[in-house]
Amino acid sequence: MTLHQSNLAAQVSGSDDFWALVIVVALCYVVGNWEELFGGGAGPVPPTPGPNGDAHERPRQAAHSAGPPSAARGERPWLAEAGIHGDLPSVRAGKPKFEEPYLSATQVKVWDRCRHRWQLEYLKKLKPHDEESQGLKFGTVVHETLETVFRWAKENDYRGDLGSADMRLIASRAHSRALSGNWLYPNAGDAALDRCLDYLEGSTVGPHDEVLHVEAPITVTIKADAGRTGLLRLAGIPDLVMRRSRSLVEILDFKTHRRVLKPDDLTGDAAQAIYAMWAHKAFPGSKILNTYALLKHHRTVSHEFSDDALRHVRSDFRQLDAEISTAQRGGAFPPSLGPHCFECPMRHHCLHYAKKWPRPTSR
């Protein structure tokens, strides 16, 4: 081979054929190393029309902009492509400010537990202790993660598989963001993400479903009897409101605790009753379904409030409003001392607590 090459060089050396040979060798080198030199395939790539009609896109770019696998399922891939890598929707921050006076399910719980706490928290508006347990933070991380996913679905009018790779990616990003503001032990952090992914994998936003509200503050007014004002404002924040069909609206609350809740728990839940009253006014003619999504137990529990049940709830709220009105006039908000005081977020404002459990004095 070496001999043959040197003979060939001798034959062409000093002639015009020599330069022709140099050009041929140079061309062979360029073609052989095309990918390294120009980043394409084994040779020049003809322009390929992309999905957006861009005739200058090359195959690799076209594959990228072809969007996620959801394209094949008709899930509005261009929006998904933009959204999963873009900014996440922001979550609701802090407590919403409802027009005063109002009653919420939390107020009902506090009133039943300790009227003095109700006075400190809702009348004097003193700041509660915001030290949060790991259990509360766990719930916050799960709620914030799911809130972000459903806000994203609403903003992008997503109507597909909530367990798809795209949605898992959004959930993971949302979960990381939620963790950065609510530190959890690592195993608890992983468990929080698992709860969310399990729920999303078992759920679907079908073509006829629509995400109507995500963590949106709602109010409904009813006539008051002998309360503080002529109209009584009831307020709440349902986790998720979905239109399931033309005639069905579902209100969902995500629950992260261990206790297995039953339909009876729903009927006695003041928050659910407020949501149902609001939804009957907001979506007249639709059937309203209240649902607990029990994330730890991979199941849901639903209930439909009857007109009769809602009438009773309205009457309970009127009675409570009248009680509060009487207490305000007489200035009577007695304390209710007990073991629950050690977890009361208002205990550092409470003189009854300080008297009952005085702090040891330092010498």
Closer to ligand SF4 by Cβ: residue 284 or 360? 360
Query: What is the SS3 string spanning the chain?
Result: CHHHHHHHHHHHCCCCHHHHHHHHHHHHHHHHCHHHHHCCCCCCCCCCCCCCCCCCCCHHHHHHHCCCHHHHHCCCHHHHHHHHHCCCCCCCCCCCCCCCCEEEHHHHHHHHHCHHHHHHHHHCCCCCCCCCCHHHHHHHHHHHHHHHHHHHHHHCCCCCECCCHHHHHHHHHHHHHHHHHCCCCHHHHHHHHHHHHHHHHCCECCCCCEEEEECCCEEEEEECCCCCCCEEEEEECCCEEEEEECCEEEEEEEECCCCCCCHHHHHCCHHHHHHHHHHHHHCCCCEEEEEEEEHHHCEEEEECCCHHHHHHHHHHHHHHHHHHHHHHHHCCCCCCCCHHHHHCCCHHHCHHHHHHCCCCCCC
Interaction pattern, residues 119-148, with ligand SF4; x per rule: CB under 6 A: -x----------------------------
**Least distance (Å) from ligand SF4 to the CB of residue 360?**
18
**Least distance (Å) from ligand SF4 to the CB of residue 125?**
14
Footprint of ligand SF4 on residues 83-122 (CB under 6 A)? 114, 116-117, 120
**Least distance (Å) from ligand SF4 to the CB of residue 317?**
22
**Least distance (Å) from ligand SF4 to the CB of residue 100?**
21
Q: Which stretch binds ligand SF4 (CB under 6 A): 50-58, 297-305, 318-326, 342-350?
A: 342-350
Q: Which stretch binds ligand SF4 (CB under 6 A): 164-172, 255-263, 302-310, 330-338?
A: 330-338
Q: Which stretch binds ligand SF4 (CB under 6 A): 83-91, 250-258, 318-326, 336-344?
A: 336-344
Closer to ligand SF4 by Cβ: residue 116 or 175? 116
Q: How many residues bind ligand SF4 (CB under 6 A)?
A: 15
Which position among 341, 358, 360, 362 is part of the footprint of ligand SF4 (CB under 6 A)? 341
Closer to ligand SF4 by Cβ: residue 129 or 281? 129
Q: Which stretch binds ligand SF4 (CB under 6 A): 57-65, 99-107, 264-272, 331-339?
A: 331-339
Q: Which stretch binds ligand SF4 (CB under 6 A): 136-144, 166-174, 291-299, 346-354?
A: 346-354
Instruction: Give residues in contact with ligand SF4 (CB under 6 A).
Output: 114, 116-117, 120, 335-337, 340-341, 344, 346-347, 350, 352-353
